Chains A and B, each alone.
Chain A
Amino acid sequence: MEYLGLSLALFGAALAAALAGIGSAIGIGIAGGAAAGVMTEDPNKFGSCLILQALPGTQGIYGLLIAFFVLNKLGLLGGAGAVALNWNQGLQILASCLPIAVVGWYSAIWQGRTSAASIQMIGKKPEAMGKAIILPAMVETYAVLALLTSILMLMGVQVG
Chain B
Amino acid sequence: MGVARLKKAELYYHKSVHEQIAAAIQETGACQIISSEEENHPRPADVDALISRNDEKLADVRYLSRTLTPHYVDPVPALDRMLGERPEVTMAELKELAESTNLKAVCDKTRALERESGEVKTKLSEARMNSSILSSLEFLPYPLSVVTEGTKTLSGLIGTIKPSNVSGLRAALGDFSKYKDDSELVIAPFNEKENAGDVYVALIYSRKIEEEIREVCAKNGLSLVEIPSSLTGTVDEERERLAGAISELEAKEAEITASIKALAEECVPTVQKLSDYYNSLSARYNGTAMSDETDSVMLTRFWLPSDKADSIRAKIEAISPEVELTLSDPEPDDEPPSMLMNGNMVRPFNILTELYSSPTYRGIDPTPLLAPFFWIFFGMCLGDAGYAIVVFGLIMWVFKKYRKIAPGVKDFITLFLFCSVSTFIYGVISGSFFGNFIDSFLPPLIPVKNALMLVDPMTNPMQVLGISLLLGVIHLMFGLLIAAYDKMRHGEIIDAVGEKISWFLLIVGLCLYGVGLGGMLPPHFVQIGGAMAVIGAVIIFVYAGKGEPNYFKKIINGFLALYGSTSYLGDILSYSRLLALGFGSAVIGMVINLLGGLAADIPYVGWLVAVVVIIGGHIFSIAINILGSFVHPLRLQYVEFFGKFYTGGGTPFTPLTLSQEFVNVKA
Contact = CB atoms under 8 A, between A and B. Distances in A.
Contact of B632 (A61, A137, A151): A137
Contacts of A151: 461, 580, 583
Contacts of A62: 584
A61 B589 CA distance: 12
B580 A131 contact: no
B485 interface: no
Interface string A117-160: 00000000000011101100110110011011001100100000
A147 B584 contact: yes
Interface in B562-607: 573-574, 576-577, 579-581, 583-584, 587-588, 590-591, 594, 597-598
B355 interface: yes
A112 B492 CA distance: 44
A54 B639 CA distance: 21
Contacts of B577: 141, 144-145, 148
Contact of A58 (B352, B355, B591, B628): B628
A134 B635 contact: yes
A65 interface: yes
Interface string A57-97: 11001101100110010000110000000000000000000
Contacts of A61: 584, 588, 624
A40 to B, nearest CB: 15
Contact of B576 (A65, A140, A145): A145
B580 A68 contact: no
B638 interface: yes
Contact of A137 (B352, B580, B631): B631
B627 A54 contact: yes
B634 interface: yes
A77 B356 CA distance: 45
A72 B551 CA distance: 62
A78 B594 contact: yes
Contacts of A54: 624, 627
A116 interface: no
Given A58-B624, A69-B587, A148 B574 contact: no
A148 B576 contact: yes
A55 interface: yes
A78 B581 contact: no
A134 B638 contact: yes
A68 B587 contact: yes
Interface residues of A, number: 30
B580 A147 contact: yes
A11 B639 CA distance: 37
Given A77-B598, A137-B632, A148-B580, A130 B355 contact: yes
Contact of A78 (B576, B597, B631): B597
Contacts of B598: 77-78
Contact of A65 (B354, B355, B573, B588): B588
Contact of B639 (A57, A134, A147): A134
B597 A65 contact: no
A65 B594 contact: no
A144 B465 CA distance: 13
Interface residues of chain B: helix, strand, loop or mixed (majority)? helix
A151 B583 CA distance: 9
B634 A134 contact: yes
B461 A152 contact: yes
A144 B579 CA distance: 10
Contact of A144 (B580, B587, B627, B639): B580
B641 to A, nearest CB: 13
A137 B635 contact: yes
Interface in A9-31: none
A126 B584 CA distance: 30
A134 B355 CA distance: 10
Contact of B631 (A131, A133, A147, A152): A133
Contacts of B580: 144-145, 147-148, 151
A55 B631 contact: yes
Nearest to B584: A65
Given A54-B627, A69-B587, A129 B461 contact: no
A71 B465 CA distance: 24
A141 B574 contact: yes
Contacts of B465: 148
Given A61-B588, A137-B635, A131 B355 contact: yes
A130 B628 contact: no
Interface in B72-103: none
A68 B627 contact: no
B592 to A, nearest CB: 10
B623 to A, nearest CB: 9
A93 B394 CA distance: 41
A155 B597 contact: no
Contacts of A138: 635, 639
A69 B458 CA distance: 11
A131 B577 CA distance: 20
A54 B626 CA distance: 12
A55 B635 CA distance: 13
Nearest to A68: B591
Contacts of B632: 137, 140, 144
A62 B591 CA distance: 12
A66 B652 CA distance: 45
A138 B591 CA distance: 27
A14 B352 CA distance: 39
A148 B356 contact: no
Contacts of B627: 51, 54-55
B594 A77 contact: yes
A27 to B, nearest CB: 15
B456 to A, nearest CB: 12
Nearest to A145: B576
Most B Cβ at <10 Å: residue of A54, A131, A151: A151
B635 A65 contact: no
Most-contacted residue by chain A among B590, B591, B624, B638 (CB, 10 A): B591
Contacts of A51: 627
A58 to B, nearest CB: 6
B355 A129 contact: yes
A78 B601 CA distance: 10
Contacts of B634: 130, 133-134, 137
Nearest to A64: B591
Contacts of B628: 58
Interface string B346-360: 000000101110000
Contacts of A137: 631-632, 634-635
A72 B597 CA distance: 14
12 contacts: A61-B584, A64-B591, A65-B587, A130-B355, A130-B634, A131-B355, A133-B634, A134-B631, A137-B631, A145-B577, A147-B580, A148-B580
Given A131-B356, A141-B577, A141-B635, 5 more contacts: A68-B587, A69-B587, A78-B597, A144-B581, A151-B583
Interface of B: 352, 354-356, 461, 465, 573-574, 576-577, 579-581, 583-584, 587-588, 590-591, 594, 597-598, 624, 627-628, 631-632, 634-635, 638-639
Interface of A: 51, 54-55, 57-58, 61-62, 64-65, 68-69, 72, 77-78, 129-131, 133-134, 137-138, 140-141, 144-145, 147-148, 151-152, 155
Query: Across chains A and B, which 10 residue pairs bring their CB atoms closest together, nearest first?
Result: A130-B355, A148-B580, A144-B577, A137-B631, A137-B635, A68-B591, A144-B580, A65-B587, A147-B580, A134-B638
